[in-house]
C-alpha cells in the first residue's frame, strides 16, 4: 500500500518509490504536517515537532494553561482562518452569521484505489488504477462546515496531488472568498524560490531568489494563467543544482486566475500555498452546495532540478495529457500565419500546401482570417462562417484539396472572443463581458465572451462541431488573444458577480470536454498569444501548446529552457520561421532554426515557396530527422546541459532514450569570438558502462562522456548549430 494509517500513532504515511509524505492527527484533532522528502521507512516523524512558548502567538482554548501549543507556529495540512494562525492561510469565508473564522479538525478518512476526479475541472487520471487516493474529512464544529482534503499518490511517478472540497452543511449561505487546495510546510532550513515570469513573446523566464522573512507572491488576475507568471513554483536549498540538492515543485492544474505564495514566518519556518487568486473572487454557497479547488501536483527531488523535471514530465505525459495524440506521432505541420497573415486566398494556401507536401510536411493549418469579415484584427471574431471571397468553395473545398495532396488539414479558432464589429455582437451584445454603464477596456479590438453562459457555449459548440465534421478538420489551434477585464455577466445576479472569472474557466473546460468527446481523433493545440495559457489545465485537453509567439530561434532557447522545468518537450509547439525573424529581425541559419524547433512538436511557419532550393533540401532533411528522432524526443529524458546566459558561448541540451542506448546532443552557438576556445560539454543520463559511437566513428564510454566530457571545436559564423546522434554499441 502506498497509503497507510497507524491507529495507535494516528500517523498517515504516503509513500512513492523515492519519497515520503507524512502527517498526523495531533492534539485536539488538528491535522499536522510532519515531513515531505526523501523516502524514509519505519519512523514516525512527529519527533520533529517542537513546542516553544512564543509571545503573541495564542493558544487554542482546549490547550488550557499550555502556552507552548500554538497554531501560529505549528506545521499544518490545512491552515484555517481567524483562530490564531496569523500566517498564510488556505480559507477565507463569510459564515451565515457574518463571522469569518474557520477551524477545521479531523473527523474521518478513507483510502481507495485509483485517482480522484474533480467536478468540471482537469485532474491527474490513472487508467490502470495503480495510484491510490486518500480522502480526509475535517469539520468546523462551530459552523458545521465540512472540508474534504484529497490526496493522490502516484507511486511510480513519485508524485502527490492535492485538492480540497468545501461543503456547506449549514442551513444558511456561506460566501467563500478564498480556498486553496494545497499547503506545503517546510519547518526547517533556508530556502530559495524559482519562479517563471515573463511577458508576451518572452514567457517563462526563470528567476531564482532567496526567501526572506515575509511573503513572496506570484499571481495572475488576467483570466488566464498568463504570460507574466506561470502557475508553478520551485522551493530549493541554496546549494541545489541541476544534479544535486533538495527541491520541491508545485504545479497548479488550472488555467485561470491563480496565486502562489511562500512565507517565511517569525520562527524561520516556510509555508507555501497555491490556488485560485482570491482577488475579484467571491463564491456563494447555499445550503448543501460544494466548492472544489483546482488540483495541485507536488514533487520532490533530492537529486536536483533535472530529476524534479523528469518526474513532472512523466506525470504530465502519462496522467494529464489524454487522447489519441498522447502517444501517437503528431503530424509535422505548416502554418500559414507568418507566411500570409490576413492576406490570403485559396490559391495562396494551396501553393503553400503543394510545396509543403513535396517536402514531406504532413499537415496544413489555416490560421486567422478565414471567417466572417476578417481582413484585419478589428472585426469578425465570433462569426464562425466561412469567408467565401477568400475561399469560394468553402472550407470543405479547401480541405478536400489539401487531403488530396496526402496532407491533413487544421484550422485556427478563437472561440472565447468576439469583435464589436461582428454580426454575433450586434445580435448578442449581452454575451460579452462588460460592466453596465462603463466603456469596456479594449485589447486587439475584441471583447471576451461570457463563457459561463450555456447559450454561449452551445453556439460555439454548434459552429465548431459543424465545421470540424463537414470540412474534415484534423486539428484545431485554440487561441485566446487578450487578458480579461470588465468582469460582469449579464446572466448572473449581483451576489454572484464574484464567481464570473471561475465560472468562465469552468465553461472553457466544459466546451473543450464536449469537443474532445465528440471528436476523439481531433488534435487540439492550445494557444493564448503563444504561451499565455501554458499550463497543466490546458494540457488535459490539448497535448501541445504553442509555446510562444516569438519564433526567433535564439529567443526560443531561453523560452524553451524555462518551459522545460515543468513541462515535457512534447507539449511545446515549436516551428521553423523566416529569417530575418518577424518578431526580432534577427538572422539565423536555417539549420539552427530546425535544431531549436526539434526541441518540441515540430512544424514550419513561413512561405516555403520563397525558399532557395538548398533550403528546401534542408526542409526535407529536417522532416526526415524529426521523424527518425520523434520517439527519442517525445519519450526520452530531456537534459539541460547548461543555462542560457551562464557565461558560456552556447546553449546545449540532450535527449536520452529510456534504455540509454540512443542520445541526441543539440547545441547552438550564441556568441562568436575571435580565436575562440573549444566548446566543452558534459553529457548526462548515459550508461557509464556502455560504449557510444559518435558520428565521426570515435567510440567513447558513457562515463567518459559524462565525467570527462566532450570537446567540440568552435565554428565560425553566427548562431551555428550542432546536432549529434550517439548510439550505444
Please state the rounded mean pLDDT for residues 300-315: 98
Going by C-alpha positions, the residue among 489, 487, 524 that lies closest to residue 509 is 524
Determine the pLDDT at residue 705.
98
Angle, alpha carbons 702-687-234 (nearest 5°): 105
Place of cell 465540512: 146
Average pLDDT, the chain: 97
Q: What single DSSP character describes residue 543?
A: S
Q: What is the pTM of this model?
A: 0.98
Question: Average pLDDT in the 538-558 region?
Answer: 98
Closest CA to 512 of 4, 92, 121, 19: 121
Nearest C-alpha neighbor of 154 from the set 176, 177, 130? 130
Once rounded to an integer, what is the mean pLDDT over residues 126-144? Answer: 95
* 86 contacts 54 by C-beta, under 8 angstroms: no
Q: In which band, very low, low, confident or very high, does the pLDDT at 604 lie, cut at 50, 70 and 90? A: very high
C-alpha cell belonging to residue 284: 456563494
Residue 708, helix vs strand vs coil: helix
**CB-side exposure of 280: number of CA atoms within 13 Å?**
18
> What count of other Cβ atoms lies within 10 Å of the Cβ of residue 328?
11
Nearest C-alpha neighbor of 650 from the set 626, 623, 672:
672
Percent of the chain with pLDDT over 90: 98
Could you please state the CATH topology (level 3) that the domain comprising 650-728 is classified under. Immunoglobulin-like (2.60.40)
CATH annotation of 331-427+454-482+523-630: 3.20.20.70
Can you give the residue ranges of every domain in the chain?
A: 3-319, 331-427+454-482+523-630, 650-728
pLDDT value of position 640: 98
- Set of cell numbers at residue 587: 538572422
Active-site residue list: 535, 615
Pairing of strands 650-656, 637-640: antiparallel
Under DSSP, the state recorded for 678 is: P
Element (H, E) at 542: none
Give pLDDT, residue 406: 98
CATH 1.10.3720.10 fits 3-319, yes or no: no
* pLDDT above 90: residue 595: yes
The 3-state DSSP class for residue 53 equals coil
pLDDT band at 564 (very low <50, low <70, confident <90, very high): very high
pLDDT, tens digit (0-9, with 9 covering 90-100), for 425-479: 999 999 999 999 999 999 999 999 999 999 999 999 999 999 999 999 999 999 9
pLDDT tens column, 95-122 = 999 999 999 999 999 999 999 999 999 9
Give mean pLDDT, residues 242-256.
98
pLDDT of residue 716: 87
CB 121 within 8 A of CB 115: no
Amino acid at each position: 500500500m502506498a497509503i497507510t494509517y497507524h491507529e495507535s500513532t494516528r500517523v498517515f504515511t504516503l509513500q512513492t518509490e523515492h519519497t515520503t509524505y507524512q502527517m498526523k492527527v495531533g492534539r485536539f484533532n488538528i491535522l499536522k504536517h510532519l515531513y515531505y522528502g526523501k523516502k524514509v521507512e519505519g519512523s514516525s516523524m512527529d519527533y520533529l515537532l517542537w513546542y516553544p512558548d512564543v509571545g503573541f502567538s495564542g493558544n487554542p482554548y482546549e490547550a488550557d494553561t499550555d502556552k507552548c501549543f500554538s497554531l501560529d507556529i505549528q506545521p499544518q495540512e490545512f491552515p484555517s482562518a481567524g483562530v490564531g494562525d496569523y500566517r498564510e492561510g488556505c480559507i477565507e469565508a463569510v459564515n451565515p452569521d457574518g463571522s469569518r473564522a474557520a477551524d477545521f479538525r479531523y473527523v474521518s478518512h478513507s483510502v481507495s484505489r485509483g485517482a480522484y476526479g474533480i467536478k468540471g475541472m482537469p485532474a491527474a487520471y490513472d487508467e490502470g488504477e495503480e495510484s491510490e487516493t486518500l480522502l480526509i474529512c475535517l469539520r468546523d464544529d462551530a459552523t458545521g462546515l465540512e472540508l474534504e482534503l484529497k490526496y493522490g499518490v502516484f507511486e511510480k511517478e513519485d508524485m502527490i496531488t492535492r485538492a480540497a472540497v468545501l461543503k456547506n452543511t449549514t442551513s444558511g449561505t456561506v460566501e467563500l472568498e478564498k480556498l486553496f487546495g494545497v499547503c506545503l510546510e517546510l519547518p526547517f532550513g533556508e530556502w530559495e524560490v524559482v519562479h517563471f515570469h515573463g511577458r508576451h513573446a518572452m514567457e517563462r523566464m526563470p528567476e531564482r531568489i532567496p526567501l526572506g522573512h515575509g511573503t513572496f507572491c506570484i499571481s495572475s488576475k488576467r483570466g488566464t494563467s498568463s504570460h507574466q507568471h506561470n502557475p508553478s513554483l520551485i522551493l530549493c536549498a541554496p546549494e541545489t543544482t541541476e544534479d544535486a540538492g533538495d527541491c520541491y515543485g508545485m504545479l497548479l492544474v488550472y488555467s485561470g486566475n491563480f496565486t502562489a505564495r511562500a512565507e517565511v514566518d517569525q520562527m524561520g519556518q516556510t509555508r507555501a500555498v497555491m490556488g485560485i487568486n482570491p482577488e475579484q473572487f467571491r463564491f456563494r454557497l447555499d445550503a448543501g452546495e460544494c466548492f472544489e479547488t483546482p488540483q495541485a501536483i507536488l514533487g520532490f527531488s533530492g537529486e536536483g532540478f533535472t530529476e524534479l523535471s523528469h518526474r513532472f514530465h512523466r506525470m504530465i505525459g502519462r496522467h494529464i495529457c489524454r487522447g489519441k495524440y498522447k502517444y501517437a506521432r503528431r503530424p509535422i505541420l505548416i502554418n500559414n500565419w507568418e507566411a500570409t497573415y490576413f492576406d490570403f486566398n485559396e490559391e495562396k494556401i494551396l501553393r503553400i500546401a503543394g510545396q509543403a507536401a513535396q517536402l514531406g510536411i504532413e499537415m496544413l493549418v489555416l490560421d486567422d482570417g478565414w471567417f466572417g469579415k476578417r481582413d484585419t484584427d478589428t472585426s469578425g471574431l465570433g462569426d464562425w462562417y466561412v469567408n467565401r471571397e477568400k475561399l469560394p468553395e468553402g472550407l470543405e473545398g479547401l480541405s478536400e484539396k489539401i487531403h488530396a495532396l496526402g496532407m491533413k488539414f487544421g484550422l485556427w479558432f478563437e472561440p472565447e472572443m468576439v469583435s464589436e464589429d461582428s454580426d454575433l455582437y450586434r445580435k448578442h451584445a449581452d454575451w460579452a463581458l462588460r460592466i453596465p454603464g462603463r466603456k469596456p477596456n479594449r485589447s486587439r479590438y475584441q471583447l471576451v465572451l461570457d463563457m459561463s453562459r450555456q447559450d454561449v457555449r452551445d453556439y460555439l459548440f454548434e459552429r465548431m462541431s459543424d465545421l470540424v465534421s463537414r470540412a474534415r478538420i484534423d486539428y484545431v489551434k485554440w487561441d485566446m488573444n487578450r487578458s480579461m477585464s470588465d468582469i460582469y455577466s449579464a446572466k448572473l445576479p449581483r451576489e454572484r458577480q464574484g464567481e464570473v472569472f471561475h465560472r468562465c474557466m469552468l465553461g472553457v473546460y466544459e466546451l473543450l470536454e464536449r469537443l474532445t468527446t465528440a471528436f476523439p481523433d481531433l488534435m487540439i493545440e492550445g494557444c493564448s498569444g503563444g504561451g499565455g495559457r501554458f499550463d497543466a489545465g490546458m494540457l488535459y485537453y490539448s497535448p501541445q501548446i504553442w509555446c510562444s509567439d516569438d519564433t526567433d530561434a535564439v529567443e526560443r532557447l531561453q523560452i524553451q529552457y524555462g518551459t522545460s522545468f515543468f513541462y515535457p518537450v512534447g507539449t511545446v509547439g515549436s516551428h521553423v520561421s523566416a529569417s530575418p525573424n518577424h518578431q526580432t529581425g534577427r538572422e539565423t541559419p536555417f539549420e539552427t532554426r530546425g535544431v531549436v524547433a526539434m526541441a518540441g512538436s515540430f512544424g514550419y511557419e513561413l512561405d516555403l515557396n520563397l525558399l532557395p532550393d538548398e533550403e528546401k533540401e534542408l526542409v526535407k532533411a529536417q522532416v526526415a530527422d524529426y521523424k527518425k528522432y520523434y520517439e527519442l524526443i517525445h519519450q526520452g529524458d530531456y537534459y539541460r546541459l547548461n543555462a542560457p546566459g551562464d557565461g558560456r558561448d552556447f546553449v546545449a541540451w540532450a535527449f536520452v532514450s529510456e534504455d540509454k542506448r540512443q542520445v541526441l546532443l543539440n547545441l547552438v552557438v550564441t556568441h562568436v569570438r575571435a580565436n575562440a576556445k573549444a566548446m566543452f560539454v558534459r553529457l548526462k543520463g548515459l550508461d557509464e558502462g556502455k560504449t557510444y559511437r559518435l558520428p565521426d566513428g570515435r567510440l567513447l564510454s558513457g562515463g567518459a562522456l559524462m565525467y570527462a566530457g566532450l570537446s567540440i571545436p568552435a565554428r565560425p559564423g553566427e548562431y551555428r548549430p550542432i546536432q549529434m546522434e550517439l548510439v550505444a554499441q
